Structure 1
Amino acid sequence: MTSSSVVVAGAVAAAAIGFGGRNPATPSDTAHLPATTTPVTRTTLIRTQQVNGVLGYGAPVTINAPGHGTITWLPAPGATITRGQPVYKADNRAIPLLYGSLPLYRTLRSGDVGEDVQEIEQNLAALGYTGYTVDRSYTSTTANAVRRWQKDLGLVQTGVIDPAAMVIAPAGLRVSEVVAHLGDQAGGPLLAYAGTTRVVTIALEVTLQSLVSPGLSATVTLPDGKTVDGTLTKVGAVATAGADHQPATIDVTVAIADQSKLGPLDQAPVVVSLVSAKLDNVLAVPVAALVVLPEGGYGVQVMTGSGIHDVAVHLGMFADGKVQITADGIAEGTLVVVPS
């Protein structure tokens, strides 16, 4: 894991080095250095924590074929399958994909009521089979729509839903690996799939769990140094113990909206910048502008019409090579000296 140059306000010297500046110079040091001035700015400081992740299609999920029939067709690794398309064929019958979160656990026919009925009706409607009300009741009109669907699939038109005759997944899937072979008897692992869009997965140390929650923004740095914007979509609640004395982790998923920026990358190492602290509307100067005052503490050298004089400052958050300061006589636009 890569950590960002994060410091506390008390560790000023370390902060100056870590944020790309130099050890704060003493006034006598700066007297012999060429200098430029920069205005004190009112800004938002964002401190980040960098963590390692992997860009890919997500963790694979295994599909098991029901225990009857002979496998007669399988998709190729990398194939994308959407609603209504066959996931595989058994006895030369297409087993299509339907979208949903509830696994089918019973045979459905006229008179049945439940969430699984609604799931089937939603899929039929999305595939263009209408003539019924999408609700929790399996009516004769639902059965008629099922028969039309079965006819188009080349199946026996029973009007009854057999859970073994379809695959349920949350959305379209991308085949990661094919385990079974043509001619195998159904009844075991068939293939593994993941999502159709690439995401970043992070094994995040539990000590950093407070930095993440669904909906937060993140910046992903690709292997070529380019960055893309991401959004945290899933944050695991169960920690996984680390092996060989490594820290425990939780799984975090980052979605990437603009997939076109990812090129052909798959299973690529990336660095994710998470926001660890943020302060709005604060006064800040470059860390390099800090000086060690003869009487102790830190200050900045302020340039006015009458010359340059030291002003003691209170230090706040460090981020992106800047430091938050507060002091009497320091305002937005005040010119401070930055040694060149």
Structure 2
Amino acid sequence: MTSERPADGTPSDVSADIPSHTPPAPTADASSTDISSGGSPEEHRGPRRRPLRASLITLAALTVVAAGGIGATGVLGGDGGESAEAAPSSPAKSATVEKTTLTRGETVDGALGYGEATTVRAPATGGGSGARGATAGGADSDAGSGSGTGTLTWLPDVGDEIERGESVYSADERKSVLLYGSTPLYRTLDVGSEGKDVLMLERNLAALGHTGFTVDEEYTGSTADAVRAWQEDLGREETGEVTPGDAVVAPGARRVSDVGAARGGALSGDVLTWTGTGRVVTVDLEVRFEGLVKDGTKATVTLPDGTAVMAKVTDIGAAATAAPSDGGEDKSAEDATLPVELTVKDQKKLGRYQAAPVDVTLAAESRADVLAVPVSALIARQGGGYAVQAITDDGVENRPVELGLFADGLVEVSGSGITEGLRVGVPG
């Protein structure tokens, strides 16, 4: 779903969106009412009708806004060249010209959830990886052979959240715990080992409160001492060595989304599936909107109950063309989409929604410190162009305006006599 944008205030373009008709000359008047007061025009009109002044009756017929569309309270007479012309009557309601920032957005479909799921598979055996281990890979990856050994003696439940140092599962009563990082344990680590996997291990040991070693890429005797202390905490044999089966590595805390194995079963195949713990919003963004997103781009997410929360783009994938249809027709580049992920800092504002369709509004154009009025305050002028009804101490008059950006029910206006704080009529 996308927002419409007028053609830079060109009257002929905007007027196409403004339905109007020419009813008989008005026979009623109403006092000016602030737009914020609410209520229908009928609630503000008096019980008696008053005739219009003769000079106003000679003006061209009054044009009225249809409910739900832009309209006008009067079509100005003459050639439209005067800077201000008398309005046909006092408006039923009024609003104030305000200085604000207008932002036009493109609204697209999104989905609230916990992001992409990855799978923890039983470890491969043989080679230099040790007897036990597990691999956390993408849901469609081939990481690990799924031919580990042992019997599963403990598994988490769906919805459980697992943090650093906590058990992912147990096989033969031996815990395999979660460590944070991007380098998996793929070999046995001992004194003399060097590499990024050593650095990952030492960072986790330090975060778990173990000290006495330097956090670097070298596995020293001091590292082995810290590992023994860690193994003691876990109730393991204190070997000072770390095998792949001792831990599963993931970027951060995880939330269990599915458990594919059973207690008492063999440690093989897919053990469980998990995601991040924070709710995120994902969007398959059409490539034509690619220019609207980059890392850090802010967006507004509207939940099913109408609540709006702020989000920020944190990941943009590569464009992917939609799969061919059942008829075998190839999809064009116009059908390609970008996977975009947005994070919501204030998770409490998401309420109790765990998964839900949402609307995501991305900023397409923004103009700061412009004068704006409600779109419904516009009136069409005879011969083209638009005006607003200016309400002053001397009465009501129509003042021509140039139109700019439309956004959120407001329109940017400028022109002679159009100033911040000016009261303008809003036709009822």
Q: In the alignment, residue 164 of structure 2 is paired with which amino acid? A: R
Aligned-CA RMSD value = 2.6
Distance 1:19 1:94, change over 3 A: farther
TM norm structure 2: 0.72
CA distance in 2, matches of 1:221, 1:3: 14
CA distance in 2, matches of 1:130, 1:201: 40
Measured in 1, the distance between the counterparts of 2:399 and 2:90 equals 19
2: CA distance, partners of 1:53 / 1:287: 28
CA-to-aligned-CA distance 1:163-196 (integer Å, 9 cap, x gap) = 2321001111111001122343334211100111
1:274: how far off? Answer: 2.0
Partner residue, 1:3 = 2
* Structure 2 residue 70 is matched with structure 1 residue 22: yes
2:414 matched residue in structure 1 = 326
SS of 1:311's partner is: strand
Query: What is residue 12 of structure 1 aligned with on the other side?
Result: 14
1:295 aligns with 2:383: yes
Alpha-carbon distance between aligned partners in 1 of 2:306 and 2:377, rounded to the nearest angstrom: 29
1:125 to 201, 206, 215: 206
How far off its partner does 1:209 sit?
A: 1.8
| Preserved contact between residue 214 and residue 234 of structure 1 (Cα < 8 Å) | yes
Give the match for residue 362 of structure 2: 274
8 A contact 1:44–1:282 mirrored in 2: yes
Residue 113 of structure 2 corresponds to which residue in structure 1? 56
CA contact (8 A) 1:8 1:318 kept: no
> Which SS does the other structure have where 1:313 is aligned?
strand
Query: Matches of 1:195 and 1:323 in 2, distance apart?
Result: 42
Alpha-carbon distance in structure 2 between the residues aligned to 1:227 and 1:328:
37
Please report how far the alpha carbon of residue 109 of structure 1 lies from its aligned counterpart in structure 2 after TM superposition.
1.8
CA offset at residue 211 of structure 1?
A: 1.6
For residues 238 and 34 of structure 1, what CA distance do their matches in structure 2 show? Answer: 52
In structure 1, distance between residues paired with 2:281 and 2:370? 33
Q: Residue 101 of structure 1 is aligned with which of 163, 166, 182?
A: 182
CA contact (8 A) 1:49 1:276 kept: yes
Where relative contact order (Cα < 8 A, 6+ residues apart) is larger, the structure is 1
Q: In 2, are the aligned partners of 1:15 and 1:318 still within 8 Å (CA)?
A: no
1:316 aligned to 404, 415, 423, which one?
404
Q: Give the letter for the 1:81 counterpart.
A: I
Instruction: Please give the secondary structure, in 2, of the residue aligned with 1:230.
Output: strand
Is contact 2:70-2:378 (8 Å) kept?
no
Alignment-derived partner of residue 169 in structure 1: 250
| CA distance, structure 1, for counterparts of residue 305 and residue 423 of structure 2 | 38
> Partner of 1:76 in structure 2?
157
Pick closer, same or farther for the CA change 1:303–1:100 going to 2, 3 Å: same
Report the secondary structure of 1:121's partner residue.
helix
Displacement after TM superposition at 1:126 (Å): 1.0
Q: Is the CA contact 2:104–2:365 (under 8 Å) kept in the aligned structure 1? A: yes
Residues 336 and 143 of structure 1, relative CA distance in 2, 3 Å threshold: same
For the residues of structure 2 that align with 1:127 and 1:108, how far apart are their CA atoms? 18
Identity %: 46
Q: 1:127 to 1:240 in 2, by over 3 A?
A: farther
Return closer, same or farther for 1:286/1:243 CA change in 2, 3 Å cut-off: farther
Q: Structure 2 counterpart of 1:76, which letter?
A: D
Structure 1 position 15, deviation (Å): 5.3
Higher mean Cα deviation, 7-16 or 119-128?
A: 7-16
Q: Which runs of 5+ in 1 are unaligned?
A: none
Amino acid in the other structure paired with 1:27: V
TM-superposed deviation, 1:44: 0.7
What residue in structure 2 maps to residue 40 of structure 1? 97
The 3-state SS of whatever aligns with 2:387 is: strand
1:285 pairs, out of 373, 398, 403, with 373
Distance across 2 between alignment mates of 1:250 and 1:102: 27
Answer whether contact 2:76 2:382 (CA < 8 A) is retained: no
- Residues 287 and 322 in structure 1, CA contact (< 8 A), matched pair in contact too: yes
Task: Give the drift of 1:242.
Answer: 5.3
- Tell me the CA shift for residue 86 of structure 1: 1.0
Q: CA deviation at 1:318?
A: 0.2
Q: 1:117 to 1:283 in 2, by over 3 A?
A: same
Could you report, residue by residue, the CA deviation over 1:53-75 in whole angstroms, capped at 9, with x for unpaired residues?
A: 22221121111110332222211
Secondary structure at the counterpart of residue 272 of structure 2: strand
Counterpart position of 2:143: none
How many residues align? The count is: 339
Aligned equivalent of 1:202: 283
- Give the alignment partner of residue 31 of structure 1, picking from 88, 113, 118: 88
The structure whose Rg is larger is: 2
Higher normalized strand content (fraction of residues): 1
Q: What is the letter of the counterpart of residue 289 of structure 1?
A: A
Residues 79 and 174 in structure 1, CA contact (< 8 A), matched pair in contact too: yes
Equivalent residue letter for 1:230: A
Contact 2:89 2:396 in 1 (8 A): no
